Amino acid sequence: MLGLNKGQEMKKSKKPNHNSSRNSRSLRDNLRQRLLSLGRQVLMQRSTVENQRTKLGEEVAVLLMALSYGSVYA
């Protein structure tokens, strides 16, 4: 018997609530801010990795030039 009444009570409690719409807005704004922050972090990491690759490529190019001119012996 208790289970039958429980379902009806739950249906009544699902009325639109102004506080729930405010909460959902604040939750959405909070999530948006977190995603933007995460996106910035990812972009910063990408640029750091790209800078490291560029530096490594420059070092490799200099070492190859040094090898080709005989300045360095392998």
pTM: 0.44
Query: Over 80: is that where the pLDDT of 23 sits?
Result: yes
Span 34-46, average pLDDT: 88
Span 12-22, average pLDDT: 65
Question: Exposed e or buried b for every residue in 52-74, given b needs 16+ CB within 10 A?
Answer: eeeeeeeeeeeeeeeeeeeeeee
CA distance linking residue 72 with residue 69, whole number of Å: 8
Which position has the token pair 């800078």?
51
Task: Tokens for 1, please give them.
Answer: 């018997």
Check residues 63 and 71 and name the one with the higher pLDDT. Answer: 63
CA distance linking residue 32 with residue 27, whole number of Å: 9
pLDDT at 1: 47
